[in-house]
Amino acid sequence: MSTRSVLDWLEEAAEAAPQSMAYDGPGGSYTWGALRTRARETGTFLCALTKPQQPVLILMEKSPDCLCAMFGAVYAGCFYTPLDSSMPEARMRMIAETLQPSVILFEEKFRDTAERIAGDAKTACFAEIPGGEDAGKLAERRAGHIDTDLLYVLFTSGSTGVPKGVSIMHRSVVDFIEWACGALRLPEGVRFGSQAPFYFDNSVLDIYCAMKMRGSLHLIPRGDFMFPKKLAERISAEKIDTLFWVPSALTALANAGVLAPGSLPGVKRVFFCGETMPCATLNRWKQALPDADYVNMYGPTEITDVCAWYRVDRDFADTDSLPIGFPCTNTRIELIDGEICVGGTCLSPGYYNAPEKTAAAFVQNPLRPQIRETIYKTGDLGEYNDRGELMFLGRRDSQIKRSGYRIELGEVECALSAADGVELACCWYDAPNEKIIAAFTGTADEKDIRKALKAALPKYMLPDSLLRRETMPRTGSGKIDRAALKREAELEHTDR
């Protein structure tokens, strides 16, 4: 029988390996059997408060309990939205107003916040959910489930300042995870080291691949990423064999001097997605772990995490750009006026409670006007190289024109990242002053950086300003926070 719900995998894992570790980290751990029991108890509790396919907002720290809350919502026939507990309360309120949740599940320390943003929603503390399950009620909810029901809604930033809720169906996640487990050659019992927050779509791969493969997921504390030696020790001590991280996190570890040949011998797979992977970072990892499997993945939240992938099968110079490769199964990628547009089973049905935003981004495929076929306009630019591999060229809005020249800021970033002594790099365009600004971290001397850039780039692409930073501001998902970086630079300029 085909898989219609992610809960099919949870039931199978709990039956086949009830005593095996499922998810562990800050706040405790669950075996597959215990996870199912607590999730079904949570689902029973939520059935009394909800109707099928209503949203459940979850205000909890990243923890095994938070995962139980998420799956409990699914057992109740609902869908879940994890909130970033560190975001401003005003933003939480905007999300709650868009979502109109039936219930907010929270952990005790967020009780007051949950009650302030709830509006008409009911609120419940996860720790106070009673034991016991109503198998009949849960079966009734499962019987009414179809695979186009929503599994989750994750909120991303919106150009108008109002967050956009990306809706994703069970069918899309099932298709994606079945592809991932096969294409990424994941073994039964795989053990992931989790970097991504649950409100970030990169978390979908390791949460559900661990479930399908009856493996486990160790939730690495966020603070460990500030201490590379401690992070490396945790990876080894926890016997983590698979990493799926944003490149910024991999770069920080690579540049900290804790990677060396023979280090992290248990790591067999290193996957990355969410931003451009500098080849200089990739090469440092390959020097330390030459036998690991490296896969570059690409995709916005609107297409269920990943729509293109490339298994690293050859050497690249530090200054090269890494391909994003080929479409995943049941995914179609079109280049329309250079823009990457995506269709297929992966596609979101749209932004929750935002029909105008949905209509602007999810459009009819102009290459097939004879039949209704929706594609998502990513806003990213791409091209094919001479091997037929798709290359990511940057955001459409990161392509600038200066002095008559078209410039991809991503190419400038790539050259800056490859300079000796540069750890992290970020570029943007100051349009009013027609200047390219570049920020970097590392020990490199500015004169040496400019020399390296002159050797790699034509004169018209060279940054006008180089800004050294001790650290780069980060978003909650671990990416470089470009908006915060620009604000810092503007404040410094104003102060001068």
pLDDT digits (tens, 9 = 90+) for 6-44: 999 999 999 999 999 999 998 899 999 999 999 999 999
382 within domain boundaries = yes
Rounded to whole angstroms, the Cα distance separating 351 from 405 reads 36
Picking from 116, 145, 174, the residue at the C-terminal end of a domain is 145
pLDDT in tens, 240-257: 999 999 998 999 899 898
Q: Clarify whether residues 210 and 329 are in a common domain.
A: yes
**Pair 205, 331 in one domain:** yes
* Other Cβ atoms closer than 10 A to 396: 15
- Cα separation, 130 vs 137, in Å, equals 16
Has residue 474 been placed in a domain? yes
Spacing of C-alpha 334 from chain mean position: 22
* Same domain for 268 and 191: yes
Is the domain of 120 the same as that of 202? no
Number of domains in the chain: 3
Q: Are both 57 and 134 inside the same structural domain?
A: yes
The alpha carbon dihedral of 121, 122, 126, 131 has a sign of negative
Considering the domain boundaries, does residue 4 fall inside one?
no
> Are 440 and 360 found together in one domain?
no
Judgement on whether residues 176 and 83 belong to the same structural domain of the protein: no
pLDDT at 53: 98
Amino acid code (one letter) for 172: S
Do 259 and 126 have their domain in common? no
- Give me the CATH number covering residue 40: 3.40.50.980
- Which residues span the domain enclosing 291? 158-402
pLDDT band at 276 (very low <50, low <70, confident <90, very high): confident
Query: Which among 145, 174, 195 is the end of a domain?
Result: 145
Could you tell me the pLDDT band of residue 495, with boundaries at 50, 70 and 90?
Answer: low
**Entry pTM:** 0.85
Q: Are residues 413 and 392 in the same domain?
A: no
Q: For residue 396, what pLDDT is reported? A: 77
CA distance 23 to 215: 9
CATH number at residue 448: 3.30.300.30
Q: Which helix (H) or strand (E) holds 170?
A: helix 170-183
Is residue 41 situated within a structural domain?
Answer: yes
- Does the residue 117 lie in any domain? yes
Q: Among 364, 379, 402, which residue terminates a domain?
A: 402
CA 121 and chain centroid, separation: 28
Looking at the domain assignment, is residue 10 inside a domain? no
Count Cβ atoms below 10 Å from residue 150 Cβ, excluding itself.
Answer: 21
| 227 and 328 together in one domain | yes
Instruction: Report how far apart the first and last C-alpha atoms of the chain are (Å, whole number).
Output: 67
Q: Are residues 250 and 312 in the same domain?
A: yes
What pLDDT score does 152 carry?
Answer: 98
CATH of the domain at 192: 3.40.50.12780
Give the DSSP H/E element, type plus range, for residue 344: strand 339-344
Query: Do residues 450 and 346 share a domain?
Result: no
